[in-house]
């Protein structure tokens, strides 16, 4: 794996405990029975109604690494929650503070649930993509483009994005060109079907670089894909 473009390599998810005594009484369960009841209710759902720092989504990055910075031992709930193939919410045990969890964010729908109890949950997220030289990445801009994530300044974000994607494309084209030449020099011939498939993959990759850009329109966020069950894909 290797880090993605600078603008989105690091971000922090923050859910803070309330200091308002009235909120503490009215918005949070007060007994273990009430805590268990609320967790059971949440876990019986498809995740859409679970309070979260980030709701049900696919990541725009291939593989995020979630490192826990602050989560008291007595906190309950608050796990990264995966939506499984039967569209049920399954909680992933949180790592100890300072440890991390890797998520296949472009494959699995998931969310960062808030604690059911009144506690902080603060995590650092590092973003990675394929590190295989000459291979194309599958990163998109759905949840990180400036119109959705205001922290990303327009000019800086798209400078980073264009450099990252076009550098990967450049390396991929070089690998294909060298492969065609090597096949000829080694006497194995030209593999037409394989070459066409690679060109089609490049065509899709180039389209994905720009298809979500704001100048082409403002698609609603979150997109319908985030709430679409796996068996409907």
Q: What is the pLDDT of residues 148-195, one digit of tens each?
A: 999 999 999 999 999 999 999 999 999 999 999 999 999 999 999 999
Domain ranges of the chain: 11-128, 154-226
Q: Which of 56, 54, 52, 65 is nearest to 8 (CA)?
A: 65
pLDDT at 99 > cutoff 90: no
Query: Per-residue pLDDT averaged across 107-113, rounded?
Result: 93
Residue 49's pLDDT is: 86
Residue 8's pLDDT is: 94
> Helix 154-185 to helix 192-210 angle, to the nearest 10 degrees?
170
Query: Per-residue pLDDT averaged across 107-133, rounded?
Result: 93
Task: Report the topology of domain 11-128.
Answer: Jelly Rolls (2.60.120)
C-alpha 95/C-alpha 6 separation (Å) is 26
Residue 78's pLDDT is: 87
pTM greater than the 0.95 cutoff: no
3-state SS class at 100:
strand
CA 36 to chain centre: 29
Bridge partner list, 12 = 124
């Amino acid at each position: 794996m290797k880090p993605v473009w600078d603008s989105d390599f690091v971000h922090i998810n923050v859910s803070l405990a309330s200091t308002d005594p009235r909120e503490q009484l009215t918005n949070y369960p007060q007994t273990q029975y009430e805590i268990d009841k609320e967790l059971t209710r949440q876990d019986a759902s498809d995740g859409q109604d679970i309070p979260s720092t980030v709701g049900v989504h696919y990541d725009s990055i291939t593989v995020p690494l979630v490192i826990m910075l602050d989560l008291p031992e007595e906190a309950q709930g608050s796990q990264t929650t995966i939506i499984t193939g039967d569209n049920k919410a399954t909680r992933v045990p949180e790592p100890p503070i300072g440890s991390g969890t890797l998520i296949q964010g472009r494959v699995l729908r998931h969310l960062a649930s808030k604690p059911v109890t009144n506690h902080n949950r603060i995590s650092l997220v590092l973003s990675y993509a394929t590190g295989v030289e000459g291979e194309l990445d599958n990163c998109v801009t759905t949840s990180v483009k400036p119109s959705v994530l205001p922290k990303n300044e327009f000019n800086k974000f798209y400078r980073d994005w264009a450099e990252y994607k076009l550098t990967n494309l450049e390396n991929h084209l070089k690998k294909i060109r060298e492969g065609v030449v090597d096949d000829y020099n080694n006497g194995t011939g030209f593999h037409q079907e394989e070459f066409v498939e690679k060109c089609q993959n490049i065509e899709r990759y180039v389209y994905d670089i720009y298809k979500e850009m704001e100048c082409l329109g403002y698609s609603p966020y979150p997109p319908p894909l985030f709430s679409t069950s796996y068996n409907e894909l």
